[in-house]
């Protein structure tokens, strides 16, 4: 049986994505030896790890977009990526037909619109066809979710 790492990953779709901006002076920021801790009260969506785990298991942790399997000392690693984001205003479903098994790089690409998926499962990377999404007989995908994701990132 594949041993998937169970490290909770940050919910990328709910965070501001940082855009690399060049610093003028080139000096390294001072940083902080003892970063402060703050308490916060957040509302978070309760995601089912069983749903993600099923998708990752079907694909044996192999990225559906680029084919990469990441080997770690603890086993192979992949991420369950929601196609239509769960957060508002997208309100995607937490179902296997809205989840892809992706490597971390392709997960970021999906969440930033660098890749979108056509109805015929062609992966479009920055406007250029980049191959077909890998499939598994038990893993059907929601065309509605794929379309919603494409609409969100249409340029």
Cα dihedral: 150, 95, 64, 12 (round 10): 70
Single residue of 66, 70, 121, 130 touching Zn ion by CB under 5 A = 66
How far is the C-alpha of 141 from the C-alpha of 75, rounded, in Å?
Answer: 26
Near Zn ion by CB under 5 A: residue from 86, 106, 116, 141: 106
Which residue's CB is nearer to Zn ion, number 45 or number 104? 104
> Between 102 and 145, whose beta carbon lies closer to Zn ion?
102
* Of 44, 48, 105, residue with least CA distance to 77: 105
C-beta closer to Zn ion: residue 51 or 63: 63
- Return the range that interacts with Zn ion (CB under 5 A); candidates 3-11, 35-43, 59-67, 87-95: 59-67
- For residues 134 and 66, the answer to whether their CB atoms sit within 8 Å is no
Position 65 contacts Zn ion (CB under 5 A): yes
Query: Is there binding between residue 110 and Zn ion (CB under 5 A)?
Result: no
Query: Position of tokens 């038990």?
Result: 138
63 touches Zn ion by CB under 5 A: yes
Q: Choose the stretch contacting Zn ion; rule: CB under 5 A; options: 31-39, 57-65, 73-81, 134-142.
A: 57-65
């Amino acid at each position: 049986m594949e041993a998937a790492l169970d490290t909770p990953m940050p919910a990328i779709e709910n965070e501001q994505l940082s855009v690399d901006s060049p610093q003028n002076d080139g000096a390294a920021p001072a940083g902080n030896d003892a970063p402060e801790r703050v308490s916060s009260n957040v509302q978070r969506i309760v995601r089912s790890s069983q749903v993600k785990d099923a998708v990752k298991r079907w694909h044996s942790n192999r990225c559906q977009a680029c084919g990469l399997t990441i080997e770690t000392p603890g086993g192979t690693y992949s991420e369950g990526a929601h196609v239509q984001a769960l957060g508002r205003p997208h309100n995607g479903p937490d179902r296997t037909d809205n989840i892809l098994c992706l490597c971390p790089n392709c997960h970021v690409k999906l969440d930033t619109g660098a890749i979108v998926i056509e109805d015929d499962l062609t992966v479009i990377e920055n406007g250029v066809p980049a191959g077909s999404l890998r499939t598994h007989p038990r893993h059907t995908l929601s065309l509605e979710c794929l379309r919603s994701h494409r609409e969100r990132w249409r340029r």
